[in-house]
Amino acid sequence: MRKQYIVGGLLLAMLWSVNLYAYDVDMAKKINKTFSHYSLKNLNNSKMLVDAETVMKMLKRKEDFLFLDIRTVNEIGIVGLRTDNTLEIPFDVLFQKENLDRLPREKDIIIVCHSGSRALQAATSLEMIGFQNAKVLYGGIIALAKSDSTKNVNR
């Protein structure tokens, strides 16, 4: 009887350890398909990245786009975007249905975070679920703040 418990315990431990090292193969394929073309060279040639100077020109021309600020409430409290076309949805709740339903499909969405890393993750994920209009403010709010064009925007 003791031997059966030992053998059973060993089998259970082996099965558990196999599952511990397993991963979702189909999901990995989808992710690989998405991220495999995101090399630095491809990103630099991509229409997904928008620099601060371009964004400032878009603001001056009053182009119709949405700033999607995905920073935390605390980050926004320190430095926020104060435009009529800004929507603040923190990254950690962006993919909730009620928040996705607030995003337009008919105009560009320029995603803003602190430095651009979260924005790239958000844009890529939005693209994966069907938003082809998501773009990243390259360099984030830091680049926008450093932009020479910020001095000349009519408010």
User: Do 140 and 106 reside in the same domain of the chain?
Assistant: yes
User: Do 54 and 130 reside in the same domain of the chain?
Assistant: yes
User: Residue 31's domain spans which residues?
Assistant: 2-35
User: Do 115 and 49 reside in the same domain of the chain?
Assistant: yes
User: Do 124 and 139 reside in the same domain of the chain?
Assistant: yes
User: Do 116 and 136 reside in the same domain of the chain?
Assistant: yes
**Dist. CA 136–CA 3, nearest whole Å:** 61
Evaluate if residue 26 carries a pLDDT over 90: no
User: Do 58 and 12 reside in the same domain of the chain?
Assistant: no
Tell the burial category of 114 from Cβ atoms under 10 Å away from its Cβ (0-12, 13-18, 19+).
Answer: middle
Evaluate if residue 150 carries a pLDDT over 60: no
**Known catalytic membership, residue 70:** no
Cβ within 8 Å of residue 102, ≥6 positions away: 87, 89
**Dist. CA 127–CA 35, nearest whole Å:** 11
User: Do 26 and 90 reside in the same domain of the chain?
Assistant: no
CATH assignment of the domain containing 129? 3.40.250.10
pLDDT in tens, 45-90: 667 899 999 999 999 999 999 999 999 999 888 887 888 899 999 9
Query: In angstroms, what CA-CA distances link 144 with 38, 70, 101, 139?
Result: 23, 15, 27, 8
Evaluate if residue 10 carries a pLDDT over 70: no
94, 113, 119, 134: the catalytic one is: 113
Query: In angstroms, what CA-CA distances link 29 with 23, 35, 62, 88, 120?
Result: 11, 10, 41, 32, 19
90 contacts 72 by C-beta, under 8 angstroms: yes
User: Do 74 and 50 reside in the same domain of the chain?
Assistant: yes
User: Do 98 and 28 reside in the same domain of the chain?
Assistant: no
- Taking each helix axis as running N to C, give the angle between helix 117-128 and helix 25-35, from 0 to 180 degrees, rounded to the nearest 10: 120
Structure tokens at 107: 């105009």
User: Do 22 and 68 reside in the same domain of the chain?
Assistant: no
* Domains of the chain: total: 2
User: Do 147 and 85 reside in the same domain of the chain?
Assistant: yes
User: Do 23 and 47 reside in the same domain of the chain?
Assistant: no
**3-state SS class at 3:** helix
